[in-house]
A and B are shown apart, each in its own frame.
Chain A
């Protein structure tokens, strides 16, 4: 996570007044029960249960996303171990690991802490109610999270032969980063809508990248227009794949639930750009917005387009690349899909 100068200054001021930093220095007494190069743990003096422990990074960071990759990996490894050994120490059958980020979430200290709370039974303080959520915002959130979360995790985790291997990087946890052609290739392969947009409107993708800094590392060193052209060439002649990272991206990859999950919710332009781009030719309808009947009626009025759809798809695809009205009409779909519908 990149901090501005003001944020860095505020962090330094926080650190100077932080009681936990002072505990670490030995200026304030505490019951320290664990320490290594990166973290330390102490007993809470106001415990919820006997054995309530606070695990803190030695570095002063307010929230978990600000943790470095090394610290984050370390925490992920030792939290389960601490739980196992703490439960044995206090003869507890249960344990709750609790992290609060932000004051509304109950964070009371500016120093990140992970509460590890052993108990004899599940704690009622952490019981979560169940209430039906509004359908529309829920579906929207589902679409966004199911797209973003696997991408975020993909930067950290690789699947190798069915077993997971974590790959620490130098970046803290954040939306996709790192110029890896593998990541971009997978993004293209698993998101047909994005691939179509890249093929048909590379300038729109470029604008979207400029407006969305978190995407920039993914496209670093990539010539969008060259990639677009190679994808178009590959689409038009599938029997002769072009040697490019895009080709590698489009080539079949081993099926896995991981990729299937990501491809389930392809992003719309709003997902990848903070400033959605609208078609410039308002009078032309989009095929995907028309019902099958409307689509048939529309094509009846466009005999040349209908002819190309019926008998000359390669030529139609060429025409789509060259004519904006056709790009508008076919945006979000393909000539093959339109054919199927009619």
Chain B
């Protein structure tokens, strides 16, 4: 039995065949695809359990560091791994500078979207001024750029 935690919402297992000695895998008891499907405080709880798992591993195994990887999209899960110097585990990427112009455009779009964070939009009719676009058809990826141009007019 590899179970290290369960609370009715989430289960956490210390993997016997994990990425390393000290790999905790956390998943909802009832699988969900992503955060948008996570009802109530499930998403919040996943963050709590992941963070405390990292602390538990750090204290228990004397790790040099920890990584938390929460994957959203196929199946909402979290992996917490203990890290040691030169352990060869990876979890890195090569930084590639973004095009400044593209980044600027993207910033406007993302800023508008994140305006809704922390706001209860169920009854709100407020919208940020720069995003007053009425969408009557689903946005396709190829339409995205044209939608941005419309907003800037």
User: A: which residues have CB within 8 A of B?
Assistant: 31-34, 36, 41, 43-48, 50-51, 53, 64-65, 72, 75-107, 119, 121-122, 125-126, 128-134, 137-138, 141-142, 144-146, 148-150, 152-153, 156-157, 159, 162-166, 173-175, 256-258, 261, 264
C-alpha gap A28/B106 in the complex (Å): 19
Pair B44/A133 contact, Cβ less than 8 Å:
no
| 18 CB < 8 A contacts A-B | A32-B111, A77-B44, A82-B114, A84-B35, A99-B54, A104-B86, A121-B73, A125-B91, A128-B19, A128-B79, A132-B16, A144-B60, A145-B56, A149-B4, A156-B48, A164-B7, A256-B8, A261-B6
- Is B110 positioned at the interface, with any CB of A under 8 Å from its CB? yes
Pair B110/A33 contact, Cβ less than 8 Å:
yes
Pair A130/B14 contact, Cβ less than 8 Å:
no
C-alpha gap A94/B69 in the complex (Å): 13
Q: Which residues from chain A contact B54 at a C-beta distance below 8 Å?
A: 64-65, 99, 101
Pair B65/A100 contact, Cβ less than 8 Å:
yes
Give residues of chain B (1-30) contacting chain A, Cβ–Cβ below 8 Å.
Answer: 1-9, 12, 14-24
Give residues of chain B (48-76) contacting chain A, Cβ–Cβ below 8 Å.
Answer: 48-49, 51-61, 63-74
B2 to chain A, nearest CB (A): 6
Residue of A nearest to B63 (CB): A102
Pair B47/A157 contact, Cβ less than 8 Å:
no
Pair A130/B44 contact, Cβ less than 8 Å:
no
User: B: which residues have CB within 8 A of A?
Assistant: 1-9, 12, 14-24, 34-36, 38, 40-41, 43-49, 51-61, 63-74, 79, 81, 83-87, 89-93, 95-98, 102-104, 106-107, 109-114, 116-118, 139, 141, 144
C-alpha gap A72/B48 in the complex (Å): 8
Pair A103/B117 contact, Cβ less than 8 Å:
no
Residue of B nearest to A50 (CB): B106
B59 to chain A, nearest CB (A): 7
Q: Which residues from chain B contact A89 at a C-beta distance below 8 Å?
A: 109-110, 112-114
Q: Which residues from chain B contact A78 at a C-beta distance below 8 Å?
A: 117-118
Q: Which residues from chain A contact B98 at a C-beta distance below 8 Å?
A: 43-47, 50
- Given A46-B96, A129-B19, is A85 in contact with B44 using a C-beta cutoff of 8 Å? no
Q: Which residues from chain B contact A81 at a C-beta distance below 8 Å?
A: 35, 116-118
C-alpha gap A90/B106 in the complex (Å): 8
Q: Which residues from chain B contact A141 at a C-beta distance below 8 Å?
A: 14, 21-22, 60-61
Pair B19/A166 contact, Cβ less than 8 Å:
no
Pair A95/B73 contact, Cβ less than 8 Å:
yes
Pair B17/A131 contact, Cβ less than 8 Å:
yes
By DSSP majority rule, is chain B's interface helix, strand, loop, or mixed?
A: mixed
Q: Which residues from chain A contact B106 at a C-beta distance below 8 Å?
A: 31, 43, 50-51, 90
Pair B16/A128 contact, Cβ less than 8 Å:
no
Beyond A41-B114, A145-B4, 14 additional pairs, beta carbon < 8 A: A33-B111, A46-B97, A50-B102, A65-B51, A81-B35, A100-B67, A100-B91, A122-B71, A128-B81, A132-B17, A141-B22, A149-B52, A153-B5, A164-B40
C-alpha gap A159/B102 in the complex (Å): 47
**Which one of A45, A164, A166 contacts B103 once the chains associate, using CB atoms below 8 Å?**
A45
**Which one of B14, B16, B86, B103 contacts A146 once the chains associate, using CB atoms below 8 Å?**
B14
B87 to chain A, nearest CB (A): 7
Pair A130/B60 contact, Cβ less than 8 Å:
no
C-alpha gap A125/B89 in the complex (Å): 10
Q: Which residues from chain B contact A258 at a C-beta distance below 8 Å?
A: 6-8
Pair A257/B69 contact, Cβ less than 8 Å:
no
A224 to chain B, nearest CB (A): 24
- Given A94-B72, A97-B69, A141-B21, is A31 in contact with B48 using a C-beta cutoff of 8 Å? no
Q: Which residues from chain A contact B7 at a C-beta distance below 8 Å?
A: 153, 157, 159, 164, 257-258
Residue of B nearest to A214 (CB): B59
- Given A72-B51, A173-B55, is A257 in contact with B6 using a C-beta cutoff of 8 Å? yes
Q: Which residues from chain A contact B61 at a C-beta distance below 8 Å?
A: 141
Pair B84/A96 contact, Cβ less than 8 Å:
no
- Given A76-B44, A257-B6, is A105 in contact with B91 using a C-beta cutoff of 8 Å? yes
B35 to chain A, nearest CB (A): 4
Q: Which residues from chain A contact B97 at a C-beta distance below 8 Å?
A: 45-46
Residue of B41, B70, B90 with most partner-chain A CB within 10 A: B70
C-alpha gap A133/B15 in the complex (Å): 9
Q: Which residues from chain B contact A91 at a C-beta distance below 8 Å?
A: 139, 141, 144
B132 to chain A, nearest CB (A): 16
